[in-house]
Structure 1
Amino acid sequence: MTFQITALPPPEGGFILAPQVRHGDVLLAQTRFDLRQFDERLSAHWGLPLPPALQQAVKKRRAEYLASRWLARETLQLYGIPDFLLCNHNDRSPVWPSGIQASLSHTEGAVALAVTRQPLCVGIDIETIMSEHTAEETASMVMSDEENVRLRRLPLTYPQAATLLFSLKESLYKALWPQLHQPMDFLQASLLTIDVPTHKAVLCLEQTFSADFFAGLRLEAVFQLEADRVTTLLTHPLPGHKKPA
């Protein structure tokens, strides 16, 4: 992923760590957070109240909610939308302002958000690298035999490769959900190509979901690998819009 990077000023207290945005047609915002520094009073102090359903949730879940809502509010300010409070539809998908396409993800101690005004389906996912045992255990659920062979040829450890594939498919499903509102199985999309040096991948739908999202449709993604995490971003033109030349 190649973007101009700008740091966001973190709030006091040490809970939010090193927030930044990477500018482009799709703005990518990321932050880490320190669970040890989470204080439930921060929700009221920052004007980001926890919904009733989370009042009794475990500390980790409340911290993820607060960090993700803080990042969403700070990022949407860059689009001239002040004091934004991210809420959810009944299906738990995010409710974004009109004219905004966005996607949010979090994992252990990190949040990622992709935002654009471009006519794009957007899906982002951030994952902590699986253990060797988890990667082997979940392989049959998230990939075909052909994908498994392809991953084992990559210049990555198998846990890195398996986590990357899992994340790519999560990004695809997040990008398509607002258009389809249909559950998707991991095997209903497949990995066609992946290029580690350029951080690019192409996936393909294995099933027809609609006239616009049909079997054989190719979807492009980019990814970022870190020592302990992987972030994937998939974009595709909204129905009725062509991919820019």
Structure 2
Amino acid sequence: MHYPKISLPLPASGFIVSQQLNDSDPLLAISHFSLDHYDDALADAWGLPLPARLQQAVKKRRAEYLASRLLARSVMAEWGFAHFTLHNAADRSPVWPAGVQASLSHSSGTVVLAATRQPLCIGVDVEQFMSASTADETADMLMGAGEQAYLRILPLDFAHAATLLFSLKESLYKALWPVLHQPMDFHQAALIAVDFAQNRATLRLEHGFNAPFQKGVCCRQRF
């Protein structure tokens, strides 16, 4: 998987600054948007009206919703699903077209989407870097003692390493949710390897779930 460089068409509003995807499988797409140029009227104009639960949400949340739905529509159009609108199931998980496995995430003016038509579990996450104090304060919640020791010998500061770990675990949990349909604790998976040359990481399940996700199973990830 390589970083997205193929540009997608942009609506003429100034709200969406860029939309790009790559041609790999799994596919990765990324969108950047400007909160200053968000307007509720865009949702109706683009045929992506805000759901009732977001009508009174803060502007940032409404903007994230619209930007993420537009990216989902743009990517699915590339795969032949014209005018696709992403909705949520009763458990709030996204409902993708039949045969598509995909995942969305957004943070600070950025939306990312990973998708495949292979029978894979796929999850994606994007995060702001934690501050040093946040990383220290949340370390025990996010990781075990062995992971903390491992992160402190990696060639980047602990706050950035902790952010990477958090994002990897969030991605894993999102990938497994469609299969498991049960919440996961941060300590139910552990980081055991990071390869910065290949931008790859491996997490091992520390808890036994439904087959095939038993304790000891290793899950490969990219960052």
Tell me the TM-score normalized by structure 1: 0.89
Give the whole-Å Cα distance in 2 for the aligned partners of 1:161 and 1:134: 12
Aligned-pair CA distance for 1:72: 0.2
Matching residue of 1:35: 35
Task: Name the aligned partner's letter for residue 150 of structure 2.
Answer: R
Counterpart contact for 1:16–1:34, Cα < 8 Å: yes
Q: Helix, strand or coil: the match of 1:178? A: helix
Give the whole-Å Cα distance in 1 for the aligned partners of 2:106 and 2:60: 11
Question: 1:146-185 counterparts in 2 under 5 A?
Answer: 146-185=146-185
> 5+ unaligned residues in a row in structure 2: which ranges?
none
Counterpart contact for 1:32–1:110, Cα < 8 Å: yes
Structure 1 residue ranges (4+ consecutive) displaced by more than 2 angstroms after TM superposition: 1-5
Aligned-pair CA distance for 1:23: 1.6
Give the whole-Å Cα distance in 2 for the aligned partners of 1:136 and 1:36: 33
Matching residue of 2:15: 15
Question: 1:219-234 counterparts in 2 under 5 A?
Answer: 219-223=219-223
Matching residue of 2:78: 78
Higher strand share: 1
Counterpart contact for 2:35–2:109, Cα < 8 Å: yes
Q: Helix, strand or coil: the match of 2:127? A: strand
Question: 1:59-138 counterparts in 2 under 5 A?
Answer: 59-138=59-138
Task: Name the aligned partner's letter for residue 11 of structure 1.
Answer: P
Q: Helix, strand or coil: the match of 1:120? A: coil
Q: Helix, strand or coil: the match of 2:123? A: strand
Q: Helix, strand or coil: the match of 1:23? A: coil
Matching residue of 1:46: 46
Question: 1:174-213 counterparts in 2 under 5 A?
Answer: 174-213=174-213
Aligned-pair CA distance for 1:211: 2.0
Give the whole-Å Cα distance in 2 for the aligned partners of 1:148 and 1:198: 22
- Give the alignment's Cα RMSD to 1 decimal: 1.0
Matching residue of 2:218: 218
Aligned-pair CA distance for 1:197: 2.1
Give the whole-Å Cα distance in 2 for the aligned partners of 1:207 and 1:125: 22
Aligned-pair CA distance for 1:13: 1.7
Per-residue displacement from partner, 1:154-185 (whole Å, max 9, x unpaired)? 11122111000000000100010000001100
Q: Mean Cα displacement is larger for which, 211-220 or 5-14? A: 5-14
Task: Name the aligned partner's letter for residue 141 of structure 1.
Answer: M
Task: Name the aligned partner's letter for residue 48 of structure 2.
Answer: L
Q: Helix, strand or coil: the match of 2:124? A: strand
Per-residue displacement from partner, 1:33-55 (whole Å, max 9, x unpaired)? 11111111100111110001111
Per-residue displacement from partner, 1:31-82 (whole Å, max 9, x unpaired)? 1111111111100111110001111111010000000000000000011001
* Higher relative contact order (CA closer than 8 Å, sequence separation 6+): 1
Q: Helix, strand or coil: the match of 1:170? A: helix
Q: Helix, strand or coil: the match of 1:124? A: coil
Counterpart contact for 2:124–2:174, Cα < 8 Å: yes
Task: Name the aligned partner's letter for residue 105 of structure 1.
Answer: S
Task: Name the aligned partner's letter for residue 71 of structure 1.
Answer: L
Counterpart contact for 1:5–1:23, Cα < 8 Å: no
Aligned-pair CA distance for 1:3: 5.5
Aligned-pair CA distance for 1:2: 2.4
Counterpart contact for 1:3–1:24, Cα < 8 Å: no
Give the whole-Å Cα distance in 2 for the aligned partners of 1:129 and 1:93: 25
Matching residue of 1:227: none
Per-residue displacement from partner, 1:103-151 (whole Å, max 9, x unpaired)? 1111111100011111111011111111111111111100111101111
Does residue 6 (structure 1) correspond to residue 22 (structure 2)? The answer is no
Q: Helix, strand or coil: the match of 1:220? A: strand
Task: Name the aligned partner's letter for residue 183 of structure 2.
Answer: P
The number of equivalent residue pairs is 223
Q: Helix, strand or coil: the match of 1:102? A: strand
